[in-house]
Amino acid sequence: MREISYMEALREGLRQSMEKDDRVFLIGEDIGIYGGAFGVSAGLLDQFGPERIIDTPISEAGIAGACVGASVTGMRPVGEMQFSDFVVLAMEQIVMQGAKMRFMFGGKAELPFVIRLAGGSGTGAAAQHSESLENWFVHVPGLKVVMPSSPYDAKGLLLSAIEENNPVMFFEHKLLYKMKGDVPEEMYTIPIGKSKIVREGKDLTVIATSIMVPRSLEAAKILSKEGIELEVIDPRTLKPLDEEPIIKSVIKTGKALVVHEAVKTGGFGGEISAMIMESEAFDFLDAPVRRLAGLDVPIPYNRNLEYHAVPQVENIVEEARKIVQNIY
Amino acid sequence: MAKEIIMPKFGFTQEESEIMEWLHSEGDSVEKGDPIAVVSTDKISMEVEAPETGTLSGIRYQIGEIVPVTEIIAYILQPGERLPEIKGIEKLSKIESPKVKKDQILITPIAKKLADENSLDIDAIKGTGPQGKITKTDVENSLALQRNFEPGKERATPAARKIGREKQIDLSKVSGSGPKGRIQAEDMKQQRSKRIDEKSVGKTIKTSIPMIGMRRTIAQNMKHSWNDAPHMTLQINIPMDELEILREELNSAKQSTAEKISLTALITKAVAVVIRRSPIINSQYTEKEIKILDQINIGIATALEDGLIVPVVHHADKKDIKQISDEIKDLSLRSKEGKLEPIDLTNATFTISNLGMYGIDSFMAIINPPQSAILAVGKMTKFFVPAENNLPMIQKIISFTLSADHRVMDGAQAAKFLSDLKEIILDPKGLID
């Protein structure tokens, strides 16, 4: 199969959706001539013109509001938050309006919009351009939250998100844009709400999201040499969460570690941990469920501090080893 | 001021004693010199006397508690006196009597403090620090392990509990291998297979013997010896006929059993003489050096109803056969009456253990640390053996088994000792000089 980058996979997904369905349009800051802050929409303006590739003023509330309004009238907008941090300015439109409208109109309104957000640290972009805010939206009924960790998943999930008749928050990771992987040329979808066992193992279930998936796989390779076999699960969709494969895996391994980049306190790891303990996997737990996550600090500008503020491969190796060896 | 009664120190290396009995209760009037409590060291029971006339008050330790020496165990009050505030005293006594560091047990000060505060026996704690040093965490884990035995409050993972419910295994009977003694699923599986083993032979607990006093000491010493000293064992069969003839000669003039020379005495003497030729047998192992000892003090393992003591014939090589025989008889008598003094039980440099009277042919004994060797003596048995003309003749034979610490000596040295012993028993005239 052909290898392309995560960014190219997203672009291809957008292009194919727009070719197939002329209700689909893109709206965001610098997505036209400039091609998007990370180049995802490069070249699309030439193909689809300014009617469908809409450059906006610097107004995230405007982008989100346009998505809500257009979607409720039958369009399928894809809005872009240049940096996921800026979504704070769009919260009213997304949370107050977009998430609730379908329910408040007794199911008579459909809101098929997607907000793409470039999240995560590791680029030296400091506190206001490096956050991982996905769990804010997990907490809001009416929104679906998707977080692909590979080029293949990026395209397949994006196509599903665009076909979805409810608002989808689509979290991309800045460091993953250059990641290469096999991606089919044709259109395909990966269902929202389906997790993926990306590596099988018997000793510990690692539930990782976004960039933490490749890091966990790297850690698994290292630990495998010590005879420790990690089972790595990528939920891919945080909401609705595909619980069963996680529960089954924990029943098998008896141990679980959740790894995410967002800060630990109030993060998605707490949700996964609680879900495990409420499930039938509880009786099979042979160690406390642990969370490895970002430190409770704004991402520092200093590159060394930034590195240590979020889980790295070596941290995952160490934490997983401790759990397997019953140190906790 | 209230007079303190402290736990006396009876022996040089003694660090603690167990309260066996209080002979008076709080409020009793006692005279100076009255025995007020019976305490037990590793080996013997002793009485604690009232240091002053007055009223016994403020008993701080109950029967069965193990108390470090010089620790205050109670007070004598005069009319109008009050007990001192315990807290202050505790601090004071801690400063005045820093406890003697146990042999070769490394422990951090904070860990030691924590262990002391919780009366935790540091012997039983496995250190995880450098050179096996016991750390605070080790003590905490050990304490948690103890707490684990609170019924219903066992530390266990959900998986372990599930197995417990399904297989009806009582968690309080399982020792956990996880952090702080947490019971893991694997522990339950092992327990289950253990239980099946026990079931198959119909094993149930009839009574429980607490691991205190002598039993505890024996357990600790034997465990240390078995774990630390690589035992090598050598066996030799020695014809005893010549020694028996000598014994009959020595005893022919004597009427009463009390005067008669015992076989044990002759063997003790023979061993003492032979040790002079193989000094390495009479040594102590330490990390840095092997100490070859000057005195030859032979311990004679003696069974008691509920344990074992080893009275010592000091300077056995310098005593004649009569002295040794009398001394062994005296020690044996007093040990049965529980009247041995600390000196009777200390400083042995080699031990003889004789189970011949139980009909045992031969056996292997565990070295009694810090000694380097122990001789196990079996029963005397008549055998037909080929004489010079190849016709059968009867010999009385005893099988001697030497257990020696291979860190200290090698096979040839141990073999030389046994072959020298054989030589002197075959021609025992040298034993009477």
Same domain assignment for residues A21 and A161: yes
Clarify whether residues B422 and B300 are in a common domain.
yes
Is the Cβ–Cβ distance between A44 and A53 less than 8 Å?
yes
Residue A207 lies in a domain: yes
Q: Which domain holds residue B150?
A: 109-200
Same domain, B163 and B88: no
Tokens of B158: 């959900």
pLDDT at B91 over 60: no
Given a contact cutoff of 8 angstroms between Cβ atoms, the answer to whether A181 and A151 are in contact is: yes
Which tokens belong to A299?
A: 């991402």
Q: Does B368 touch chain A (CB under 8 A)?
A: no
Given a cut of 60, is residue A39 above it in pLDDT? yes
Cβ of residue B137 closer than 8 Å to a chain A Cβ: no
Q: What is the pLDDT of residue B86?
A: 56
pLDDT tens digits for range B193-207: 776 666 555 556 777
Q: Which of B79, B86, B74 is nearest to B34 (CA)?
A: B74
Of A282, A285, A328, the CB nearest to B179: A328
Q: With 0-12 CB in 10 A as exposed, 13-18 as middle and 19+ as buried, what is B396?
A: middle
User: Which pTM does this prediction carry?
Assistant: 0.54
Last residue within a domain, chosen from B75, B96, B117: B96
Do A80 and A27 contact (CB within 8 A), yes or no?
Answer: yes
For residue range B343-401, list pLDDT tens digits in order. Answer: 888 889 999 999 998 999 999 999 998 999 999 999 999 999 998 888 999 999 999 99
Please state, as a whole number, how many other Cβ atoms lie within 10 Å of the Cβ of residue A70: 20
Cβ distance of B185 and A283 shorter than 8 Å? no
Provide the CATH number for the domain around residue B293.
Answer: 3.30.559.10
| Residue A69 burial (10 A CB sphere; 0-12, 13-18, 19+) | middle
Per-residue pLDDT, A108: 94
What is the pLDDT confidence band of residue B414, given thresholds at 50, 70 and 90?
very high
Considering B96, B122, B151, which residue would you say is the last residue of a domain? B96
Of A127, A156, A182, which marks where a domain is finished? A182
Name the CA dihedral angle for B212, B213, B214, B219, rounded to a multiple of 10 degrees: 40
Q: What angle do CA B353, B354, B358 make, to 5 degrees?
A: 135
**Test the B interface: residue of A250, A251, A286 with most B CBs within 10 Å:** A286
Q: What is the pLDDT of residue B89?
A: 43
Per CB-CB distance under 8 Å, the chain B contacts of A322 are none
Question: Residue A38: phi, psi to the nearest 5?
Answer: -115, 10
Asked if residue A147 belongs to a domain, the reply is: yes
Point out the least confidently predicted range of A175-184, A314-323, B213-222, B250-259: B250-259
Shortest CA distance to B60 belongs to which of B29, B44, B95, B84? B84
Angstrom distance (rounded) from CA B131 to CA B179:
21
Q: How confident is the model over A3-15, as a mean pLDDT?
A: 98
Residue A226's Cβ-count burial label (10 Å; 0-12, 13-18, 19+) is: exposed
Whole-number Å distance between alpha carbons of A321 and A219: 10
What is the average pLDDT across A260-275? 98
Strand pairing category for A144-146 and A237-239 = antiparallel
Specify whether the CB–CB gap between B273 and B424 falls below 8 A: yes
Residues 6+ apart with CB under 8 A from B235: B362, B399, B400, B401, B402
Which among A283, A327, A328 has CB closest to B159? A283
Domain endpoint, select from B148, B173, B200: B200
Task: Quote the distance between the C-alpha of residue B141 and its chain's center.
Answer: 27
Confidence grade of residue B165 (pLDDT, cut at 50, 70, 90): confident
Residue B46: enclosing H or E segment and its boundaries?
A: strand B45-49
Domain boundary among A182, A209, A231: A182
Query: Whole domain around residue A31: which residue ranges?
Result: 3-182
> Does any domain span residue A189?
no
Shortest distance between the Cα of B293 and any Cα of chain A, in A, equals: 46
Residue B93: predicted pLDDT: 40
| Residues of A with active-site annotation | 129
Structural domain contains residue B240:
yes
What is the rounded CA–CA span in Å between residue A196 and residue A19? Answer: 29
In chain B, which residues have their Cβ closer than 8 Å to the Cβ of A328? 179
The dihedral sign for the CA sequence B343, B344, B345, B348: positive
Q: Which residues of B touch A280 (CB under 8 A)?
A: none
A287–B157 C-beta distance less than 8 A = yes
What is the C-alpha separation between B402 and B376, in angstroms, rounded?
6
Do A173 and A203 have their domain in common? no
**What's residue B201's pLDDT?**
59
**Residue bearing tokens 């430190």:** A295
Question: How far apart are the CA of B204 and the nearest CA of chain A, in angstroms?
Answer: 30
Nearest alpha-carbon partner for A244 in A193, A296, A283, A210: A193
Q: Is the ipTM of this complex over 0.85?
A: no
In angstroms, what separates the C-alpha of B158 from chain A's closest C-alpha? 5
Based on the domain organization, do B79 and B155 belong to the same domain? no
Q: What is the pLDDT of residue B197?
A: 65
**B7 and B118 fall within a common domain:** no
Decide if B206 is inside a domain: no
Q: Are residues A214 and A159 in the same domain?
A: no
Q: What is the dihedral of CA B261, B263, B269, B270, to 10 degrees?
A: 140
Q: Residue A216 has which token pair?
A: 């966990």
**CATH code at A317?**
3.40.50.920
Say if A278 is an interface residue toward chain B (CB within 8 Å): no
Compare all CA atoms of chain B with the CA of A287 and give the residue at the minimum distance. Answer: B157
CA-to-CA distance for B256 and B33, rounded, in angstroms?
A: 40
Could you tell me if A280 lies within 8 Å of chain B, comparing CB atoms? no
Query: What count of CB pairs under 8 Å joins A to B?
Result: 30
- The CA distance from A31 to B15, in Å, is 82
**Residues making up chain A, counted from first to last:** 328
pLDDT in tens, A91-131: 999 999 999 999 999 999 999 999 999 999 999 999 999 99
Cβ atoms within 10 Å of A92's Cβ, excluding its own: 12
Q: For A254, which of B159, B161, B179 is closest by C-beta distance? A: B159
d(CA A262, CA A134): 8
Residue B152 touches chain A, beta carbons under 8 Å: no
- Residues A139, A12 share a domain: yes
Number of Cβ within a 10 Å radius of residue B267: 26
β-pairing, B72-77 vs B16-22, is unpaired
Closest Cα of chain B to A247: distance in Å? Answer: 14
CA distance B300 to B375: 10
Question: The domain that contains A163 carries what CATH number?
Answer: 3.40.50.970
Which one-letter DSSP state was computed for residue B158?
H
B103 lies in some domain: no
pLDDT band at B115 (very low <50, low <70, confident <90, very high): confident
Same domain (yes/no): B277, B302: yes
Question: B208 in a domain, yes or no?
Answer: no
CB contact under 8 A, B159 and A326: no
Residue closest to B340 by CA, chosen among B48, B49, B44: B44
Residue B190 in contact with partner chain A when CB distance is under 8 A: no
For residue B160, which residues of chain A lie inside 8 Å, CB to CB?
A: 286
Q: Is residue B160 part of a domain?
A: yes
Q: Are strands B373-377 and B350-354 parallel, antiparallel or unpaired?
A: parallel
Specify the number of domains making up chain B.
Answer: 3
| B179 interface with A at CB cutoff 8 Å | yes
Shortest CA gap A235–chain B (Å): 24
Q: What is the tally of structural domains in chain A? A: 2
Q: What percent of chain B has pLDDT over 70?
A: 89
Do A94 and A167 contact (CB within 8 A), yes or no? yes
**Shared domain check, B116 and B92:** no
Output DSSP code: residue B306: T
Q: How far is CA B291 from CA A11, A38, B104, B283, B294, in A?
A: 82, 77, 16, 5, 9
| Whether residue A250 is found in the same domain as residue A206 | yes
pLDDT bin (cut points 50, 70, 90) of residue B85 is low
Q: What is the pLDDT of residue B307?
A: 82
Of the candidates A110, A203, A95, A206, the one whose C-alpha atom is nearest the C-alpha of residue A149 is: A206
Residue of chain A whose Cα is closest to the Cα of B186:
A286
d(CA A154, CA A7): 8
Phi and psi of B264, rounded to 5°?
A: -55, -40
Distance of alpha carbon A11 from alpha carbon B69, whole angstroms: 82
Residues of B in contact with A254 (CB under 8 A): 157, 159, 185
Q: And the tokens for B23? A: 């002979």
Same domain, A258 and A302: yes
Nearest CA to CA, how far is B180 from chain A (Å)?
Answer: 9
DSSP string, A5-46: EHHHHHHHHHHHHHHH-TTEEEEETT-SSS--TTSTTTTHHH
Annotate B98-157 with DSSP letters as a single string.
PPPPPTT--B-HHHHHHHHHTT--GGGPPP-SGGGPBPHHHHHHHHHHHHTTSTT---B-
Q: What is the mean pLDDT of residues B48-76?
A: 87
- The whole-number pLDDT of residue B95 equals 38
Q: Are residues B269 and B181 in the same domain?
A: no
Task: Give me the DSSP letters along B178-200.
Answer: SGGGPBPHHHHHHHHHHHHHHHH
User: Looking at the structure, do residues B262 and B407 belong to the same domain, yes or no?
Assistant: yes
For the beta carbon of residue B126, count every other beta carbon within 10 angstroms.
9
Q: Are residues B412 and B284 in the same domain?
A: yes
Cα nearest neighbour of A326 on chain B: B178
Q: Answer for the pair B76, B56: CB distance below 8 angstroms, yes or no.
A: yes
Asked whether residue A245 falls in the same domain as residue A311, the answer is yes
CB contact under 8 A, B157 and A282: no
C-alpha pair distances (Å), A92 with each of A61, A98, B209, B240 = 7, 9, 73, 105
Among the three residues A152, A182, A212, which one is the final residue of a domain in this structure?
Answer: A182
B160 has a chain A CB within 8 A of its CB = yes
Report yes or no on B205 lying in a domain.
no
The residues of B annotated as belonging to the active site are 406
Domain co-membership, B240 together with B324 = yes
Mean pLDDT of A38-52: 96
State whether B147 and B35 are in the same domain: no
Assigned domain for A188 exists: no
**Neighbouring residues of A49: CB distance < 8 A, sequence distance ≥ 6:** none
- B72/B164 same-domain check: no
pLDDT tens track for A214-266: 999 999 999 999 999 999 999 999 999 999 999 999 999 999 999 999 999 99
Task: Find, among A168, A160, A164, A163, the residue nearest to A144 by Cα.
Answer: A168
In DSSP terms, B257 is beta-bridged to: none
Put simply, the answer to whether A283 touches B178 (Cβ < 8 Å) is no
Provide the angle, in degrees to the nearest 10, between the axes of the packed helices A268-278 and A243-253: 70
Taking only the tens place, the pLDDT of each residue in B309-355 is 899 999 999 999 989 999 998 998 888 777 888 888 888 999 999 99
Query: Is B102 part of a structural domain of the chain?
Result: no
| Domain identity same for A99 and A173 | yes
Residue B96 has pLDDT above 50, yes or no: no
Adjacency order of strands within the sheet including A114-119: A53-55, A24-28, A76-81, A114-119, A168-173, A144-146, A237-239
